[in-house]
A and B are shown apart, each in its own frame.
Chain A
Amino acid sequence: MVVKVHGSVRAACPQRVLACLLEKDVEFEIFHVDLDAGEHKRPEFLLRQPFGQIPAVEDGDLKLFESRAIIRYYAAKYVDRGPNLLGNSLEERAVVDQWLEVEAHNFNDLVKTLVFQIVILPRMGEHGDLALAQKCEQQLEKVFDIYEQHLSKSSYLAGDSFTLADLSHLPAIRYLVNDAGMGHLVSERKHVNAWWEDISNRSAWKKLMELSKY
């Protein structure tokens, strides 16, 4: 069964799902949603995703939205295929989940706001709020300091193996490093840098970068 992913291949949240499907070697088809044309706010799309956001997936009778819910589902469904993205015991799974929540609540909003102000708004021909962007950058420095300390004791966020917790960070850090000129947040930290080099060189992520045609 081919998983239908509704969204834009260059947007962070669909990328989170696509990276997971690629890691798990699950066949998918991307149904592009034209954000510039406001397709995600039209009634037909709102039937798929009532908050008007991407991605939304369709897999036979299953319809699901929220990228982190989607990756939890597929990582569990295909736990025996490819790399184990969940951890080997109940306790390990809980730690994976914990860092997935950290990404969702302590990391993602800061990156989203910063990228919106210094990348998206200028692209739309508007002025971003530089003071707000700077505030986000300062807060991200503190978050990355915590990651640096943590990754000095552990190769990946949840332990010795790459898991959903690391995967979930890929799209946002790509934005920071490649689009927002914020690479120093990563490169100035020895262990964060090594971790980023490792996870962004995984073949699944590289495949996604090819698909995205940056």
Chain B
Amino acid sequence: MVESVTRRSTDRQDQKFPMATPVKVYGPPMSTAVSRVLACLLEKDVQFQLIPVNMFKGEHKSPDFLKIQPFGQVPAFQDESTSLFESRSICRYLCEKYAEKGNTGLYGTNPLAKASIDQWLEAEGQSFNPPSSVLVFQLAFAPRMKIKQDQAVINENEQKLAKVLEVYEKRLGESRFLAGDEFSLADLSHLPNTHYLVNASDRGELFTFKKNVGRWWGEISSRDSWKKVVEMQKQTT
């Protein structure tokens, strides 16, 4: 459940003292790393407060923000006295801390399942994320920010991503989801970048023209949790 920043209640008491939730996420929902955490929170049915960070104004580089994320990146995260950054570690933390809530199999229910999920989460982080992030920036964000696209960089990363997706195509022909038969953090971690490439660029066919990857994308992107994240992204643009 989401505690949105805009309150609908007209009760003056409520407006003066908004309900505090211990879980806070700092960053704009349009950020791929922030939306990774939001998807996880929604899968786990954990209430949270989303605190905006205006990156266009450089808020993520302000001294106050650097105290909670010394690399000046989003998201930052707090759960009572626990402060964390790095979206994938926040996701793992949420799955461990709220193991009994929401999707209880998201990070596996035994060490072997967890190892497989970690393997594909690392594959996402090491092989999928670098080229897809570059393409997301070049194809989906640069035009909006009126930054000139670099065609050589686009071509280079498209080729890299295509090779990675060939591996995924084979894997997803053997397995319904990346780490096994159940949707997991490993699949979830791919949602943010893939969403932009499929919906906000002309390279969506990298995914949709592949039989197994296309099937997988259709399944994971139609989960309620992801649909809610996309709604949140739309509300803030």
Which A residues lie at the B interface, using CB under 8 A? 50-51, 62, 64-69, 72-73, 76-77, 90-91, 93-95, 97-98, 100-102, 104-106, 109, 143, 146, 149-150
Q: How far is the CB of B74 from chain A (nearest CB, A)?
A: 13
| Residues of chain A lying within 8 A (CB to CB) of residue B88 | 101
Interface 9-residue window, one of B39-47, B139-147, B163-171, B207-215: B163-171
Q: Is the CB of B119 within 8 A of A66?
A: yes
Residue of A nearest to B73 (CB): A106
**Contact check: which of A68, A72, A146 meets B70 at CB < 8 Å?**
A146
Q: How far is the CA of A143 from the CA of B70 in the complex (A)?
A: 10
Contact call B86/A101, Cβ cutoff below 8 A: yes
Residues on A with beta carbons closer than 8 Å to the beta carbon of B130: 109
Closest residue on chain B to residue A65 by CB atoms: B119
Q: How far is the CA of A21 from the CA of B164 in the complex (A)?
A: 29
Instruction: Flag the segment in B6-14, B50-58, B89-97, B149-157 that touches A.
Output: B89-97
**CB–CB A100/B122 < 8 A:** no
Q: A94-B82, A150-B70 are in contact. Are A51 and B118 (CB under 8 A)?
A: no
Q: Is B121's CB within 8 Å of the partner chain A?
A: yes
User: For B170, what are the chain A residues with a Cβ–Cβ distance below 8 Å?
Assistant: 50
Q: Is the CB of B84 within 8 A of A94?
A: yes
Report the minimal beta-carbon distance from B38 to chain A, rounded to whole angstroms.
17
B22 at the interface (CB under 8 A from A): no
Other-chain residue from A51, A65, A102 in contact with B86 (beta carbon distance below 8 A): A102
Contacts of B116 in A (CB 8 A): 64
Q: Are B89 and A101 in contact (CB under 8 A)?
A: yes
CA of A209 to CA of B16, assembled, Å: 62
**A-B pairs with the 6 shortest C-beta distances?**
A66-B122, A101-B86, A69-B118, A94-B93, A97-B89, A69-B119
CB pair A98–B89 under 8 Å, yes or no, is: yes
CB distance from B112 to the nearest CB of A (A): 7
Closest to B127 in A: A51
In the complex, given contacts A62-B112, A97-B93, A102-B86, what are 13 additional A-B residue pairs having Cβ atoms less than 8 angstroms apart?
A: A50-B170, A51-B167, A66-B119, A69-B115, A73-B115, A73-B118, A94-B93, A97-B92, A98-B84, A101-B88, A143-B71, A146-B70, A149-B70
Nearest-CB distance from B29 to chain A (Å)? 20
B122 — which chain A residues lie within 8 A by C-beta? 66-69, 104
Closest to B122 in A: A66
- Give the Cβ gap from B129 to chain A, nearest Cβ, in Å: 8
Question: Does B1 lie at the interface of the complex (its beta carbon under 8 Å from any beta carbon of A)?
Answer: no
Q: Is the CB of B119 within 8 A of A98?
A: no
Q: Is the Cβ of A69 less than 8 Å from the Cβ of B121?
A: yes
Q: How far is the CA of A90 from the CA of B70 in the complex (A)?
A: 22
The residue from B70, B90, B96, B115 contacting A64, defined by CB atoms under 8 A apart: B115
Residue of B whose beta carbon sits closest to that of A68: B122
Interface residues of B in 158-201 (CB under 8 A from A): 164, 167, 170-171
Interface pair A66/B71, CB less than 8 Å apart: no
Q: A51-B164, A73-B111, A146-B71 are in contact. Are A91 and B82 (CB under 8 A)?
A: yes
Q: Give Cα distance in the complex from A109 to B125, angstroms.
A: 11
Shortest distance in angstroms between B146's beta carbon and chain A's nearest beta carbon?
24
Q: Which residues of A contact B235 (CB under 8 A)?
A: none
Chain A residue nearest to B66 (CB atoms) is A146
